[in-house]
Structure 1
Amino acid sequence: MARMVRSCIQSLLKLINSMIGMVGIAMILYALWMIRVWHGHMDDSPFDAPAPWFIYTFLGLGVTLCVITLSGHVAAETANGCCLYCYMVFVFLLFMLEAAVTADVFLNDNWEEDFPEDSTGNLEDFKDFVKANFEMCKWIGLSIVSVQGLCMLLAMILKALGPHSERSYDSDDDYTPDRVPLLKNYVPTPYVVGDPVYGTKNASYVRINDKTNR
């Protein structure tokens, strides 16, 4: 029963974790499109513009989401405690970053001053798109946050369940029997220090019985 529950949670974590990867891929594609458009404008301009921080930030976030998705898939597959801890830390740090940016935008009226000037104009286009489709963007943002929280919850449950018991002994044949005495009903041979003892326990028991009968 526990094995079936663990397998279900692993599959569910992989499925939900893949949604984060899909968001990361979408951000990477959008950033590449912005880079292509920006380079097209730069070819027609005789002046050098500063680095498009907004585009590269978008690209970096997309790559980060893909890396987190990969680590989550590995953690779900292996159910290793260290991998699950690292995955939960990555998701938590991402959640804190999102919370900080969201709080700055909604609580600070001059939040644009906290960011460098965007020479490409893509930040303004992004703001206009969010304002024009605020309801849709709000639900998309809430869905992403909910997916991250659910991934952390499933990772915690999987960590509590522990790895598959049979996987812990996949490499039993690689070890000598004296290192795994509890497996396969193995009884280790005792080591003798000093003079060797001749005869077996049964033989000694027979001699004692013979003396007693006499």
Structure 2
Amino acid sequence: MGRLARSCLQSLLKLVNSVMGLAGMGMILYSLWMIRVWYRQTGDFWSHSNPPWFIYTFLGLGVTFCLITCSGHIATETANGHCISCFMVFVFLLVMLEAAVTADIFLNRDWEEDFPEDKTGRFEEFKHFVRSNFELCKWIGLGVVAVQALSVFLAIVLRALGPDRGSYYDSDDEYVPARLPLLRNQVQHTQYVADGYVPSHNDSWNVAINDKLNQ
């Protein structure tokens, strides 16, 4: 029963963790599209002194989401306490960063001044898209945060259950009977040596020759 519960918990954590990975892949694809458009507009992407920080930030967040997803899958598969703890720390730091940015946007009226100037114009387009589809973006953001919180909770439960050690016990039981005949043969061989009798292949020939001589 415990093994079944652990297996279901691992599958659920992988499913929840995959949602965060899909979000990261979407951010990476959007960043690559912005890089392509920016290169078409400028002709030389690397010649500008002011790099498009918004594109780099979006790309970095997408890669971070994917790396956390990979670490979560490894931690879930191995059920190792140290791996699960590292995964929980990564997700917790990411949630704290998201909470800090959200608090700065809602509490600071001049929050746009905290970010450097974006000459690509993609930051303005992103803000316009969020404001035009505020309800949709709000639910997407809440969904991502809920997935992250749920993944941390499931990781805590999985860490409390620990790794599955039942398979090791089963494997030991399977190999014990295979070793028993060897142990018995070794005991019998030791007993013969202790009695001073060492069996030989020539014993039957010696017995036959002695019978003929006696006759």
Give the shorter-chain TM-score range. Answer: 0.7 to 0.9
Q: What letter matches 1:147 in structure 2?
A: V
TM-score, with length taken from structure 1: 0.77
Whether 1:155 and 2:155 are equivalent positions in the alignment is yes
Q: Deviations over 1:143-171 (max 9, x none)?
A: 00000000000000000000001356699
Whether 1:79 and 2:105 are equivalent positions in the alignment is no
8 Å CA contact 1:3–1:164 kept in 2: the answer is yes
Within 5 A, what are the aligned runs for 1:177-192? none
Aligned equivalent of 1:141: 141
Structure 2 unaligned residues grouped into runs of 5+:
180-193, 195-215
State the SS of the aligned residue for 1:59: helix
Query: Deviation at 1:43?
Result: 1.6
State the SS of the aligned residue for 2:128: helix
8 Å CA contact 1:24–1:66 kept in 2: the answer is yes
4+ residue runs over 2 A deviation: 166-172, 183-186
Aligned equivalent of 2:30: 30
Aligned equivalent of 1:52: 52
Aligned equivalent of 1:41: 41
Q: What letter matches 1:8 in structure 2?
A: C
Aligned equivalent of 2:97: 97
Q: What letter matches 2:5 in structure 1?
A: V
State the SS of the aligned residue for 2:39: helix
Structure 1 unaligned residues grouped into runs of 5+:
173-182, 187-198, 200-214
Aligned equivalent of 1:112: 112
Change (3 A) 1:48 1:124: same
Q: What letter matches 2:138 in structure 1?
A: K
Aligned equivalent of 1:176: none
Change (3 A) 1:170 1:55: farther
Query: Deviation at 1:44?
Result: 8.5
8 Å CA contact 1:88–1:152 kept in 2: the answer is yes
Query: Deviation at 1:50?
Result: 1.3
8 Å CA contact 1:27–1:61 kept in 2: the answer is yes
8 Å CA contact 1:31–1:56 kept in 2: the answer is yes
Query: Deviation at 1:48?
Result: 3.5
Q: Deviations over 1:2-30 (max 9, x none)?
A: 10000000000000100000000000000
Change (3 A) 1:65 1:44: closer
Q: What letter matches 1:9 in structure 2?
A: L
8 Å CA contact 1:49–1:119 kept in 2: the answer is no
Q: Deviations over 1:171-211 (max 9, x none)?
A: 98xxxxxxxxxx9699xxxxxxxxxxxx9xxxxxxxxxxxx
State the SS of the aligned residue for 2:43: helix
Aligned equivalent of 2:186: none
Q: Deviations over 1:112-145 (max 9, x none)?
A: 1111111100000000000000000000000000
Q: Which has the larger radius of gyration?
A: 2
Q: What letter matches 1:36 in structure 2?
A: R
Supply the distance in 2 between the matched residues of 1:72 and 1:125 (Cα, whole angstroms): 33
RMSD across aligned positions (CA) = 2.4
Q: How many residues align structurally?
A: 176
Q: What letter matches 1:90 in structure 2?
A: F
